[in-house]
C-alpha cells in the first residue's frame, strides 16, 4: 500500500505539520569521507556548498521567528567556510545548535580547533558510530574510521561532553550494516555504553538507532544486490502507527545547500520539493503557511515509520 494511503487509514487525514521547532540546514555535500550508508552520497569531490547570502537568509529567519533549534548537517558541515559564522550567530540569536559531525574531521588539517569551538559554544553533537567494534565501522565508513572516532570521543569527553549532565550533549547514531531493521534502541544503548566504557573508557549521552533509508548510496547497494524490493517489503511490514506523531518532518523544515525548502533531509536527497502551495526557498519563508503544510510523502517514508521509527 502506498505510504500516504497507510497514513490516511490511521490519521483519517494526510500527514501534516504539527509544529515548527527546528530548522534543519544542510550546508553542503562536501565531506572528508565517503561512507557507504550516507544518504546524501557526500564525499571529497562534491561541490554543492551553501553560500553566505543563503546563510544570512537563514539567520534572518532564526532572528525573526520562534524557532528554537538549528540542526546543521552536511557532508561534513565543518567544511563549509561559513559554518563558524552560522553557528556563532545562531547562538547569539538564542538558538540551541545541533551539529551532525563525522568526528574524523577533527583530525584533518585546518580543523583541529573544532572540538574547542564546540565546547565554547555549547553545541550539541550527533555523531555516526554504526557499531562499537572497529571491523563493522570500518567496513561501512572506511579503514581507520573507528580509531579516529574513538580518539575524537575521548577528546570530547575531556572537554565535558557526554558526561550525562545534559550541558554538552554527545549523541551517537547507529545504523544497521545491511538490509535489516534497527534493533531495540534502549537495549542497544545499554550495550554500547557498557562496551565503549570497558574497551575505550568513553561515555556519551544517548544512542539513536535508525534504519537505513532506501535512498542514495544504500539504495544503489540494494539494487546491485537485488534486495531492494525485499527491503521495501520489510519496512512496510514493520509499519508502526505509533511513530507518526514523532516523524521529524512534522516538527521541522529542511533547508538545502542552495536555500531550497524541503519537508526533511531525505526528501532533499530525492529532490521532492515542498507542496506547491508552500514557499520553495528560505528567502520566501512564511511561518504560518509552513505550519499548516501537508508533507510530500513517498514509499521511502516507510523507512521513518518502521519498528520504533527512524527520525
Work out which of 145, 175, 267, 268 binds ligand SF4, going by CB under 6 A.
Answer: 267
300: contact with ligand SF4 by CB under 6 A: yes
Query: What is the grid cell recorded at 238?
Result: 514493520
Closer residue to ligand SF4, CB minimum distance, 37 or 300: 300
Of the candidates 212, 142, 222, 221, which has an alpha carbon nearest to the alpha carbon of residue 173?
212
The dihedral over CA atoms of 174, 298, 15, 266, expressed in degrees to the nearest 10, equals 40
Q: Residue 54: which of 17, 83, 92, 88 has the closest Cα? A: 83
Cβ at position 263, least distance to ligand SF4 in Å: 4
- 301 near ligand SF4 (CB under 6 A): yes
Give yes or no for residue 263 binding ligand SF4 (CB under 6 A): yes
| 261 lies in the binding site for ligand SF4 (CB under 6 A) | no
Question: Which lies closer to ligand SF4 via its Cβ, residue 80 or residue 211?
Answer: 211
278 lines the binding site for ligand SF4 (CB under 6 A)? no
Cell numbers found for residue 39: 544518504
Interaction between residue 17 and ligand SF4 (CB under 6 A): no
If one asks whether residue 264 binds ligand SF4 (CB under 6 A), the answer comes out as yes
Is residue 210 a contact partner of residue 247, using CB atoms and an 8 Å limit? no
- Min dist. Cβ of residue 265 to ligand SF4 (A): 8
The answer to whether residue 97 forms part of the interface with ligand SF4 (CB under 6 A) is no
211 binding ligand SF4? (CB under 6 A): no
Looking at beta carbons only, is 31 or 295 nearer to ligand SF4?
295
How far is 272 from 52, CA to CA, in rounded Å? 24
Q: Choose which of 27, 179, 249, 274 interacts with ligand SF4 (CB under 6 A).
A: 249
239 binds ligand SF4 (CB under 6 A): no
For the bound state, the minimum distance from the C-beta of residue 310 to ligand SF4, rounded and expressed in Å, comes to 8
Strand 261-262 relative to strand 252-255, pairing: antiparallel
Task: Tell me the DSSP string of 44-91.
Answer: TT---B--HHHHHHHHHHHHHS---EEEEESSSGGGSTTHHHHHHHHH
> Which among 50, 135, 71, 150 has a CA at the least distance from the CA of 104?
150
Site for ligand SF4 contains 311 (CB under 6 A): yes
Instruction: Verify cis geometry, omega within 30 degrees of 0, for the bond prior to 75.
Output: yes
Q: Considering the complex, what minimum distance in angstroms separates the CB of residue 281 from ligand SF4?
A: 19
The answer for residues whose C-beta is within 8 angstroms of residue 91's C-beta and 6 or more apart is 97, 121, 122
Is the Cβ of residue 62 or residue 249 nearer to ligand SF4 in the bound state? 249
Q: Which residues bind ligand SF4 (CB under 6 A)?
A: 247-249, 263-264, 266-267, 295, 297, 300-301, 304, 311
Amino acid at each position: 500500500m502506498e505510504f500516504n494511503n497507510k497514513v490516511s487509514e490511521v490519521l483519517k487525514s494526510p500527514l501534516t505539520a504539527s509544529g515548527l521547532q527546528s530548522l534543519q540546514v544542510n550546508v553542503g555535500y562536501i565531506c572528508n569521507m565517503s561512507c557507504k550508508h550516507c544518504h546524501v552520497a557526500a564525499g571529497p569531490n562534491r561541490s554543492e556548498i551553501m553560500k553566505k547570502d543563503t546563510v544570512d537568509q537563514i539567520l534572518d529567519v532564526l532572528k525573526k521567528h520562534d524557532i528554537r533549534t538549528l540542526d546543521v548537517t552536511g557532508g561534513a558541515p565543518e567544511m563549509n567556510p561559513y559554518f563558524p559564522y552560522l553557528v556563532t550567530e545562531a547562538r547569539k540569536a538564542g538558538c540551541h545548535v545541533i551539529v551532525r559531525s563525522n568526528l574524523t574531521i577533527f583530525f584533518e588539517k585546518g580543523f583541529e580547533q573544532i572540538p574547542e569551538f564546540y565546547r565554547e559554544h555549547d553545541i550539541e553533537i550527533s555523531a555516526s558510530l554504526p557499531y562499537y567494534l572497529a571491523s563493522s565501522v570500518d567496513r561501512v565508513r572506511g579503514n581507520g574510521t573507528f580509531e579516529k572516532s574513538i580518539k575524537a570521543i575521548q577528546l570530547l569527553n575531556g572537554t565535558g561532553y557526554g558526561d550525562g549532565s545534559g550541558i554538552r550533549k554527545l549523541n551517537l547514531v547507529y545504523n544497521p550494516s545491511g538490509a535489516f531493521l534497527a534493533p531495540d534502541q534502549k537495549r542497544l544503548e545499554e550495550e554500547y555504553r557498557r562496551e565503549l566504557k570497558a574497551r575505550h573508557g568513553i561515555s556519551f549521552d544517548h544512542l539513536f538507532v535508525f534504519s537505513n533509508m532506501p535512498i542514495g548510496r544504500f539504495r544503489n547497494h540494494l539494487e546491485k544486490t537485488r534486495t531492494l524490493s525485499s527491503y521495501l517489503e520489510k519496512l512496510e511490514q514493520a509499519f508502526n502507527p505509533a511513530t507518526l506523531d514523532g516523524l521529524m518532518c512534522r516538527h521541522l523544515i529542511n533547508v538545502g545547500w542552495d536555500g531550497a525548502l524541503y519537508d526533511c533531509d531525505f526528501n532533499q536527497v530525492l529532490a521532492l520539493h515542498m507542496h506547491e502551495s508552500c514557499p520553495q526557498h528560505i528567502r520566501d519563508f512564511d511561518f504560518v503557511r509552513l505550519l499548516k503544510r501537508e508533507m510530500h510523502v513517498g514509499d521511502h517514508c516507510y523507512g521513518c515509520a518502521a519498528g520504533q521509527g527512524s527520525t
